Amino acid sequence: MSKLWGGRFKKPFDDDAAQFSYSIQIDKVLYPYDIALNTAHALALMGAGIISAEEHSKIVTALAKIKFEMDLGLDELIQGDEDIHSCIERLLILELGDLGKKIHTGKSRNDQVITDTRLYVKDQCDIIITLLEGLLKALFLQANANDKLVFPGFTHFQTAQPVVLAHHLLAYFEQFERDITRFRAVYASADVCPLGSGALAGNNYELNRELVARELGFGTITRNSMDAVSDRDFLIEFLSASSLCMTHLSRLSEELVLWSSPMIGFVTIGDEFTTGSSIMPQKKNPDIAELIRGKSGRVLGNLTGMLSTIKALPLTYNRDLQEDKVYLFDSAATVRDSIRCMAKMIPTLEFNLNPIAAALETGYILATDFADYLVKRGVPFRESHEITGQVVLFAENHGRTLEQLSLDEFRQFSSVIADDVYAVLTLGASVDAKNVTGGTARRQIQQQLHRIKENYQW
């Protein structure tokens, strides 16, 4: 079969130019969507009287055969084709002769590729949302198993205030729930059918665009043909949601890398998600967490690359847009693989009580509770902050923790301090004092876990 566009050219396309410009090794993953698109388009062609019912039946049967053969071995069917659209059309013509040549009536590769891409993005959103729900369940189960373990909370990676470990894990639960919300919004943004927009101006055949949209599972159709073929907003939104999701995965990975270091030792990651060293036999490296952290940069780069590609493009279609699928496919695969690995790694985590307990004894982690105690005794907070700082300095100079100071030593700094101060200066009292919605009190955590269990029926 000749190329889709060769009629007005005197010289053949240069071999290097062809290798540079052909996209089939990238966009071949779109073949199921392109076959579905051609099947729906054939129905519209029959409705418009371009093909007969008998011709429609032959085209649909041939497309189903091509789909079956591609499922078995796609690469074997590619023969120097420019892209997956021209490959499928070549195979259809090979099967049906001149009848196959009618399939491109009323459509352009411009509206064809963007329709395929929207279908792909919708499917990827569904897949990623399902994977994220699996990750949420893994986090929930770990949080549920650690709903009473007091854990050091950090700011500036210095011990700050005690929290319950479940509270820390549920912070990531919140982030990944927001990711699900974003991917659902991307799905809605992609759920608009551009087919029938032609190259840029529409089509001359009064094809029933609403029918085609319903056949392909779209919720609605585009309203402007020029925007339809040049719009990549939904794709950028997908890359943006992917970047945020990978950022959240990277932050969790960073904590797992730090916590699993022998210098900290808070957690042991399962053997299934760690590797050894080629020279140091004692090493147990958190490679999967590191790889997720590293791959997040690539996904962020894809978003930047796509924005850079589209920022100066005039309407409507420009060949620069061929690059969109490079960014899209890479990001989708990376996000899927990263979530899948993280969801399987979380259940393997074993938290080590002794290093956690030792960390809770550092950094005067109960100092804020002491300042709040003074406030409840009538001391203005700014003054209580100053007094607490002085007490911490005193304890530090004498090599003791706050709770090890005597009442007389406390009273050097404020006469309002009484025996009940020691009831405040415990880890349990500290966390349970944060009994507000969103706080780390064990009562609040139980309520959060119950709400999650009810919402997800886990």
The residues annotated as belonging to the active site are: 156, 277
The one-letter code for the residue type at 145 is: A
List Cβ neighbours of 183 (8 Å cut-off, separation of 6 or more). Answer: 125, 128, 129, 132, 238, 241, 245
Give yes or no for a contact between 403 and 366, defined as CB atoms under 8 angstroms apart.
yes
Q: Which residues, listed in sequence order, are joined to residue 153 by a DSSP beta bridge?
A: 161
Give yes or no for a contact between 66 and 78, defined as CB atoms under 8 angstroms apart.
no
Q: Is 387 helix (H, G, I), strand (E, B) or coil?
A: helix
> 58: alpha, beta or left, given left = phi > 0 and alpha = psi -120 to 50?
alpha
d(CA 26, CA 267): 41
d(CA 101, CA 98): 5
Query: Tokens 């007969």 correspond to what residue?
Result: 52
d(CA 74, CA 177): 37
Cα 153 off chain centre by: 26
Q: Is 61 helix (H, G, I), strand (E, B) or coil?
A: helix
* Phi, psi for residue 161 in degrees, rounded to 5: -145, 150
Q: Which residues, listed in sequence order, are joined to residue 163 by a DSSP beta bridge?
A: 151
d(CA 368, CA 384): 10
Give yes or no for a contact between 269 and 348, defined as CB atoms under 8 angstroms apart.
yes
d(CA 180, CA 134): 11
Give yes or no for a contact between 256 and 250, defined as CB atoms under 8 angstroms apart.
no
Q: Is 386 helix (H, G, I), strand (E, B) or coil?
A: helix
d(CA 56, CA 50): 10
Q: Is 225 helix (H, G, I), strand (E, B) or coil?
A: helix
